[in-house]
Amino acid sequence: MGALADLFAGTAPGAGGIKILAPGAALLRGFVQASLPALLQEIEHVAKAAPFRRMVTPGGYAMSVAMTNCGEAGWITDLGGYRYGATDPQSGRPWPAMPPMFRALAAGAAKAAGFDGFEPDACLINRYEAGAKLSLHQDKDERDFSQPIVSVSLGLPAVFLFGGEERRQKPARLRLESGDVVVWGGPSRHRYHGIDPLAPGSDPLTGPYRYNLTLRKAL
């Protein structure tokens, strides 16, 4: 509980407070605020080796969100389905290594939300431009559902939809700002979630984009 107490005391880096969304789910406002420029540099470094691309769903539609990955495994979708793979299908090379800072911030955020010992091995990097969205879905391609999802927001704000375990349950709508982190695991691990179409804008750091890091223990 040390990190949680720090957050309430405002002593954690960039702490903006913690909002419990549901059992096992928390929004950590401004948790990575102080690290935003460094995080963006790491994203740009990853994207040099593994460029952002709009992947195709199993149904044959190009996603509006552009994606890349770093870590031992990367999340991919194509006509063959959704899965994790060790290599970038575009280059045939392994995904770029996960920057140590990503691991550290994810472990710290997970701990603050009550999940000790989180060791992500996969980081999906989403890039949204105006109009891009992510329909309600569950994260369920990972092997170990005892481990949470840690989701980091950078750049333009977005409306995060956070629903229940069934698609028909009406989702809560939460505005996510640059530097916010959402963690969901335990009893919330299979909640539906998504992102409303991004409003156009210009962020001082990321310009016309919103980036999202989704850190997972996939293998």
| Binding residue positions for substrate | 75, 82-84, 141, 167
Q: Does 142 bind Fe ion (CB under 5 A)?
A: no
Of the ranges 12-20, 39-47, 58-66, 139-147, which one interacts with Fe ion (CB under 5 A)?
139-147
Residue 144 to residues 23, 73, 79, 141: CA-CA distances in angstroms? Answer: 19, 14, 25, 9
Q: Is the distance from CB of 99 to CB of 35 less than 8 angstroms? A: no
Q: Does 102 bind ligand SIN (CB under 6 A)?
A: no
Q: Is the distance from CB of 105 to CB of 15 less than 8 angstroms? A: no
Q: Among 160, 162, 184, 209, indicate the residue that binds ligand SIN (CB under 6 A).
A: 160
Q: x-or-dash pattern for ligand SIN, window 185-204, by CB under 6 A? A: --------x-x---------
CA nearest to 126, candidates 152, 162, 93, 104: 152
Q: Does 212 bind ligand SIN (CB under 6 A)?
A: yes
Task: Give the one entry of Fe ion, ligand SIN, none that residue 178 binds, where binding means its C-beta sits below a cut-off of 5 to 8 angstroms depending on kind.
Answer: none
Residue 74 to residues 67, 129, 180: CA-CA distances in angstroms? Answer: 10, 21, 23
Q: x-or-dash pattern for ligand SIN, window 109-148, by CB under 6 A? A: ---------------x-x-------x--------------
Interface with ligand SIN by CB under 6 A: which residues? 124, 126, 134, 151, 160, 193, 195, 212, 214
